[in-house]
Structure 1
Amino acid sequence: MSEPSDPTVAPPLTRCLLVDDDPGIRALLADFLRPFGMPLVSVASGVAMRQHLTSETFDVLLLDLMLPGESGLDLCQWVKQHQPRLPVIMLTAQGDTCSRVLGLELGADDYLPKPFEPRELVARIRAVLRTASGAAQAPARTRTAIGDWTFDRVQRRLHSPDGVMVPLSAAEYRLLVAFVDHPGQALTRERLLEITRARGVETQGRSIDLAVSRLRSKLGETDAHAGLIRTLRGTGYLFAPRKAP
């Protein structure tokens, strides 16, 4: 018989790192998040962000888009290359659709337009943490052989036959996952858009073509009709993985 849980034991804290150059917002969010078990460390620059991320462990990163010096987009890209499992919520200007899309394409997990209600931020933090927890516990294989390449789903990277790491953008990652999960199947652009669409982003078939072109380039593919990712005229694409010799 298991012992009852100790009611005096507090639930685990969610450590948050905020990067925002507005001292008022940093103070406001620190005071608001604390009662929800979300202690906040706040910094004003990318330099300070890197220092904290290399010396401490955080559960979520709250990243302002408009920062002096390095932009939030540049910092998001750096984080996803060095700590791909760290969830990132971008804080963006109201109606800044272009930057919001770019942030999601670079790997941001969610975005929140300013001004926002702090209570909504709490809900967004909990949502991305649930998603991250589910991904970490998923039983699916994390590494997939693609010919003589290796695709690491967790790290969101490709490894070439020579062992060179090739980073993937968020769009390229979602597209490659779609192909790997549907080998030998003819996929229309509309179906690929449905599978790979990021939340809150409206995309068109042309974006699939561009992502395919970039992905082919990273895989060293030059033949659109006989390579790993084959163009089906009038239909879409087909992923034809070959076994390594």
Structure 2
Amino acid sequence: MRKILIVDDDQKTRTLLKTYLEKNQYDVKLAHDGASFLAEFERYQDELSLVILDVMLPDTDGFALCGTVRKRSAVPIIMLTANADDTDRIVGLELGADDYIAKPYNPRELLARIKAIHRRMGGDGGTTAPRYYRFNGFSLDTLERTLTDPAGETVKLTGLDFQLLRYFVEHPGDVLDRTVLAEETRGRDLGPLDRSLDVQVSRLRQRLLDDGKQPALIKTVRGTGYVFSAEVITSHVA
């Protein structure tokens, strides 16, 4: 049973989510503020499959917690925000969140987002897909979900970083539409003013030391999307 940790300062919301998600076969742990969240995260860190962070908390905010979690773990993060514009969403994504949902929301929508993240994190289940993708001295291990740089050092990736990079290396040289990338990595379409994908690409470029002004690996195709221009070599063995 997948374990989820939720922090929200509203007791009714916490109780509702716990009841609803447990009916859908999730093991739910709750926290009411930043301090209790960090205590629960420390306790269950290695068992968690997802974290849900409310932005507004009495002793801190979800952004600070997101940054703390990302320093310790690549566990997927969903942010809950009451902000109607994109500010909270973009800040959360820049800090390493994998998805966001605006309040008020239907618990069924949150459940759908949770399932979509778990589905993407679980991979396609195929047995013939290569395990390793190598490019420009980097090596992506899709089984261990790790990326090593040309010096052999591990590059820290969030769950969303991994999903986006994996899709890029699986389609080298292809011009990838922004809508397709959003659907493949986040399970939903982009709104006309939604720049969250561009934030994600910018963050991934930083991970790959790809110059944002003149990128060599992930190039922008104006009016369309992006293309992964590096030569990719695949293999089943290290």
Q: TM-score, normalised by structure 1?
A: 0.64
Q: 6, 15, 20: which is aligned to 2:3? A: 15
| Aligned positions, number | 224
Any gaps of 5 or more consecutive residues in structure 1? 1-12
What is the DSSP-based 3-state SS (H/G/I as helix, E as strand, rest coil) of the residue aligned with 1:240?
A: coil
Percent of counterpart pairs with the same letter? 35
Q: What pairs up with 1:39-188 in 2 under 5 angstroms?
A: 39-56=27-44, 57-80=47-70, 82-84=72-74, 86-93=75-82, 95-104=84-93, 106-133=95-122, 135=123, 137-139=125-127, 140-153=129-142, 158-168=147-157, 173=162, 176-183=165-172, 185=173, 187=175
Distance 1:49 1:37, change over 3 A: same
CA–CA distance in structure 1, aligned partners of residues 131 and 161 of structure 2: 16
Q: Does the aligned pair in 2 maintain the 1:179–1:239 contact within 8 Å? A: no
Q: Does the aligned pair in 2 maintain the 1:230–1:238 contact within 8 Å? A: yes
Q: Displacement of 1:21 after TM fit?
A: 1.9
Q: Partner of 2:229 in structure 1?
A: 239
Q: Partner of 2:236 in structure 1?
A: none
Alpha-carbon displacement from aligned partner over 1:136-185 (angstroms, at most 9, x marks no partner)? 735434432223222344676542222333334677655543442233x2
Greater gyration radius: 1
Aligned AA (1:132): M
Q: 171, 181, 184: which is aligned to 1:196? A: 181
What is the DSSP-based 3-state SS (H/G/I as helix, E as strand, rest coil) of the residue aligned with 1:137?
A: coil
Q: TM-score, normalised by structure 2?
A: 0.66
Say which structure, 1 or 2, has more relative contact order (CA 8 Å, 6+ apart). Answer: 2
Aligned AA (1:194): T
Please identify, of 87-96 and 99-108, the stretch whose mean Cα deviation from structure 2 is larger: 99-108
Q: Displacement of 1:43 after TM fit?
A: 0.8
CA–CA distance in structure 2, aligned partners of residues 126 and 154 of structure 1: 20
Q: Where in structure 1 do 4 or more consecutive aligned residues deviate above 6 Å? A: 203-213, 230-236
RMSD: 4.2
Aligned AA (2:30): S
